[in-house]
Amino acid sequence: MKKLKNSLILFLFSISFACSGQKDYLVTITTPQGEIKAILFDDTPAHKSNFIKLAEEGRFDSTQFHRVMKNFMVQGGDVFTKEELPPAEWPTIEAEINPNHFHRKGMIAAARQPDSVNPLRRSNGSQFYIVIGKVYEEKELLADMEKLQSAFMQYVQIGSQEELRNEYTRLYNEQKYDSLTMLVVSKREEIEKSLNLNLSKEFTPEEIAVYTSIGGTPHLDKEYTVFGEVISGLEIAEEISKVETGQRDKPLSPIYMKVKVEKLSRKKIEKDYGYTYPALK
């Protein structure tokens, strides 16, 4: 029994030592506003290796955050435009859409062309975005807004809903769009019962907790590959999202980036940045 106990202790020690010795890539995105630090996920290996390769080759350097939207995201890393490669020849990456990675604030995901021309949802070979998003009220989060909006317009045509129709029109004319959204959301259960419809979306308890506290962009879930996470400097990305923009949400003053990767022990990354690797939880 003593021999078995000693063997077990030695086995557990070897696992602990191996985990502490594991290394990972720390990503540093340097911008005029400051530095953004990130890690990339092991379970999206194609996206992780592609990003690291581009960074190590210096190909991200002098690309821009070329599309930024307040309360939504900042997008950049357009290597192939910088290299004057025709769009038809831009490389893509097979989708690695993992339900464990959803669009909470701070996540890094791959940009892509729309489903109409890209039904397999393959990712752009270089462009990425950092999620900013917003914090949701639970009722708004759980509503399927596209279906609800359509059902709401049908519902207000009922003669008994003249008062609701007038309130909607007033808010629309006054451009009070947030209040308009909450009005529509507040009527979801009433409309479901009246029209015998299901106008809700399904979320896990974790997703509900995150989207109603930290925030994010839930409507992008299951549509794009999320392959990394900002672990320091998220306020820099948020600052970038608020700059003045022109056509196609492009900053009026260019925001260039420089990207480097360095291998550090996972233990050091956890200690320095407060990040916990899933395998070590």
The CATH number for 233's domain is 2.40.100.10
Evaluate whether residue 266 is within a structural domain.
yes
Q: Are residues 52 and 81 in the same domain?
A: yes
pLDDT at residue 15 greater than cutoff 50? no
Whether residues 56 and 188 fall in one domain: no
Q: Do 122 and 51 belong together in one domain?
A: yes
Is residue 220 within 8 A of residue 40, CB to CB? The reply is: no
Same domain, 274 and 176: no
Are residue 90 and residue 169 in the same domain, yes or no? Answer: no
Do 75 and 164 belong together in one domain?
no
- Domain-embedded: residue 92: yes
How many Cα atoms within 13 Å fall on the side-chain side of residue 72?
A: 10
Number of independent structural domains in the chain: 2
- On whether residue 9 sits in a domain, the answer given is no
* Residue 126 forms part of a structural domain: yes
Using the predicted structure, report yes or no on whether residue 270 has a pLDDT greater than 80.
Answer: yes
Q: Is the confidence at residue 141, as pLDDT, over 60?
A: yes
- Pair (122, 225) in one structural domain: yes
Q: Is pLDDT at 4 greater than 90 in this prediction?
A: no
Domain extent, residue 184, equals: 143-195
237 lies in a domain? yes
3-state secondary structure of 258: strand
Residue 106 CB neighbours (<10 A): 23
Confirm whether 151 is domain-assigned: yes
Assess whether 185 and 242 both reside in one domain: no
Q: Report yes or no on 271 lying in a domain.
A: yes
Q: Are residues 220 and 100 in the same domain?
A: yes
Both 239 and 101 in one domain: the answer is yes
Same-domain pairing of 106 and 189: no
Within its chain, how far is the Cα of 262 from the centroid? 23
Q: Are residues 118 and 49 in the same domain?
A: yes
Per-residue pLDDT at 5 exceeds 50: no
Residues 6+ apart with CB under 8 A from 161: 155
**pLDDT tens digits for range 50-80:** 999 999 999 999 999 999 999 999 999 999 9
Looking from the CA of 49 toward its CB, the CA atoms found within 13 Å total: 7
Which of 1-5, 19-23, 143-147, 235-239 tops mean pLDDT? 235-239
CA distance 182 to 159: 22
- What does the pLDDT average to over 24-34? 98
Nearest Cα residue to 270 out of 255, 261, 260, 280: 280
pTM over 0.75: yes
